[in-house]
A and B are shown apart, each in its own frame.
Chain A
Amino acid sequence: MSLTLRGHRESQLENALTAEMKRQVSPYEQYRDLPEEELFREAGVDTAGAERGGYSNYSYWGATTRAFFQNRVAVLFLIVIVLLLAFTFIQPHLPNQKQPKTIYNDERGIQIINRQPDEEFWFGTNSIGQDLWARTWAGTRTSLGIGFAVGLFEVTLGTLIGLLWGYVRKLDSFFTELYNIFDNVPQTLVLILISYILKPSVGTIIFALCLTGWLSMARFIRNMVVIIRDRDYNLASRCLGTSTGRIITKNLLPYLVSVMALRMALAIPSAIGNEVFVTYIGIGLPTDIPSLGNLVQAGRLLISQPELRYQLLFPVAVLALITISLYIVGNSFADAADPKNHLR
């Protein structure tokens, strides 16, 4: 009995405390009784004062680009990734290129299997006589496509949900509970289930990776929003009657551009990594579509034969080059896009 009583008093105290805190925090409540004239008074136009104020030629994107190009390592990797991307898409149109899915035969009509890298087959051939050079670049195209689609979706949906979750207080606990639940449903279960329901294809794998990937992004954005939502400048905006939409697009989003860029740049390597993983557990793309996941998996099966290791190492080298470049460029851009780093 005394225990419940004490509990009751505690909750009473808590309620009083929250009410008191609300009253203190909210500027509307605090000054509600004051007449309008006390709150705002016409200051009049002071032309001389306006002259004195001067102006700053600060431009957000200008400062961002400048900060980015000061980082020489990042610029180097930016060049690498641009060249790599360009080459990936130009490669099939170059002269004398082999087809990724064609099986090549020698003069006697026998398949050229497991040929070591030479002048004709730059990366060698695989166990059924396909050209590994062509397959690696075709696989890079597939995987980059998957990574880009998944990354774009993750960032878009994650940001939308994250903004709602963080900015609209009433939705906070709802989304948090939802997150706790969905975060605990194993990703593998969802992936396997989707691969049962839908036929394995590029579309399916994009869908499956999108379905599970945006959660952490939304949570990340939510945490960022909660941190900056009640900063003084936002409070000032709200007091001056700025609409919620404008606060979100003009006050919050510029702060989030840097993290969004970072997540986008990281989502691509991680989607490629996930593609390798789902291929590994046997629910990836059909083996006849070349992708980095399929190539790594095919090469993995041959590691016990040292002379055939080139079949693993070439795709792995290209994959590592892409993911590392994207990672460095993404991180440097995120640093450059952070307004805090513009004050030099």
Chain B
Amino acid sequence: MLKYILKRILHSLIALVIVISIVLLLLRAMPVEGYFNNYEKMSETQINVTLRKMGLKDPAPVQIGRYLMQLLKGDLGTSNKYRQGYPIAKIIAKKAPISIRIGLLSFAIALAAGFPLGIAMARSAKTKWKVWDRFGTILIVIVQAVPSAVYHLLIQLYGSEWLGISMLFDKDDWRTYILPVFSLALGNIVYFAMWLRRYMVDEANKDYVRLARAKGVPESRISRVHIFRNAVVPLVQYIPQSILFTLMGSLYVESLYSIPGMGGLLVQVIKIQDNTMVQALVVIYSALSVMGLLLGDILMALFDPRISFTGKEGSRA
């Protein structure tokens, strides 16, 4: 297991270096006008001197190497346009907590609502009227089919009217958290409900469930212990990634409610060509996604009743 994890981490590091290089090359493909505020007024020499000073005239491998060395020292660098000369780590430290708070809240709601909904759907799939199953299916279809850009907008529009609260976010007013958190949670609620229902229905037709029923295990215990435990395994893998990704924030929701989080930051700094910021953000995001995948796999192994680390071979009490 340890060997496997180390191997995975090594692979991820190599992938990370390549991602950094590609992003750096892509950024160099941007027009140089973006680096200057008064490009038209500057002479050729002035431009060249400034570019050289910024290190943009060096060959690409040199630039990549320099950046990697800097990263190894734990330095994300300083912003060169967004907030000139300000350490990037500080900018992120100020913005990330807001995104994380909203993201975690909405993820907790998604878990708390999505799992019960999925279980209720799977259970009612066998009843006559399938009330929950039908309701859930309609919800799933609407949320999955309508572009999120559209339903976020409608939630903001009618939610704020209906609840009588402000359309914009205010850090100190808890009521303004409701709509963005709910908006963000909706996608995950539906995702969890949809897959949990599918996996539970699949598991319910397996032989071990039939055996449990034949033995006289109560229906509620079958669905809780036998079916749920096995059905939830593929979903567990998705959890660490979702938690880590809350740091990135949501571009669309945050800008709709003007939440000062991480959401729009990447688009913003790409547009103003703040290269050091773009690189720093890409590094962080890729590292998070790699870490999320790894943690997901480990968590899945821990959750799966069929995989055991303690090594009681053959005997499972």
The residues of A with any CB-CB pair to B shorter than 8 Å are 10, 177, 180-181, 183-186, 188-190, 192-193, 196-197, 269-270, 272-274, 276-277, 280-282, 296, 300, 303, 309, 312, 316, 319-320, 323-324, 326-328
Q: List 13 A-B contacts (CB under 8 A).
A: A180-B290, A184-B285, A184-B289, A185-B282, A189-B278, A193-B29, A193-B30, A269-B145, A270-B147, A273-B148, A280-B149, A312-B153, A324-B141
Q: Judge if B157 is at the interface, Cβ distance under 8 Å.
A: yes
Question: Looking across the interface, which residue of chain B has its beta carbon closest to that of A330?
Answer: B145
Known: A180-B15, A192-B271. 20 other contacts (CB 8 A): A177-B11, A180-B12, A181-B22, A184-B285, A185-B23, A189-B266, A193-B30, A273-B148, A274-B147, A276-B149, A281-B267, A282-B271, A296-B149, A316-B150, A319-B150, A320-B145, A320-B150, A324-B141, A324-B146, A327-B141
Which residue in A189, A192, A281, A296 is a CB contact (below 8 Å) of B23?
Answer: A189
Alpha-carbon separation in the docked complex, A277 to B30 (Å) = 22
Known contacts being A316-B150, A316-B154, A323-B145, is A188 close to B270, with CB within 8 Å? yes
Which residues in A have their C-beta under 8 angstroms from that of B270?
A: 188-189, 192
Q: Interface on chain A toward B: helix, strand, loop, or mixed SS?
A: helix
Contact B267 A323 (CB under 8 A): no
Residues from chain B with a CB closer than 8 A to the CB of A272 are 147
Q: CB of B144 within 8 A of chain A?
A: yes
Question: A319–B29 contact, CB under 8 A?
Answer: no
Q: Which of A10, A270, A282, A300 contacts B153, CB < 8 Å?
A: A300
Supposing A196-B31, A281-B251, A303-B157 touch, asked if A185 and B26 sit within 8 A by C-beta, the answer is yes
B residues contacting A by CB (< 8 A) are: 3, 11-12, 15-16, 18-19, 22-23, 26, 29-31, 141-142, 144-150, 153-154, 157, 251-252, 266-267, 270-271, 278, 282, 285-286, 289-290
Minimum Cβ distance to chain A for residue B130 (Å): 13
Q: Given the known A-B contacts A303-B157, A320-B150, are A184 and B286 also in contact in the complex, defined by CB atoms under 8 Å? A: yes
Question: Across the interface, which residues of A come within 8 angstroms of B144, CB to CB?
Answer: 327
The 10 lowest CB-CB distance pairs between A and B, nearest first, are A273-B147, A327-B145, A184-B286, A324-B145, A323-B145, A276-B149, A184-B19, A180-B15, A320-B146, A181-B18
Please state if B157 and A190 are interface contacts (CB–CB under 8 Å): no
Contact in complex: A303, B153 (CB < 8 Å): yes
Within 8 Å by CB of B26, from A190, A269, A280, lies: A190
User: What is the minimal beta-carbon distance from B279 to any residue of chain A, in angstroms?
Assistant: 11
Are B22 and A296 in touch, CB under 8 angstroms?
Answer: no
Q: Which residues of B contact A303 (CB under 8 A)?
A: 153, 157
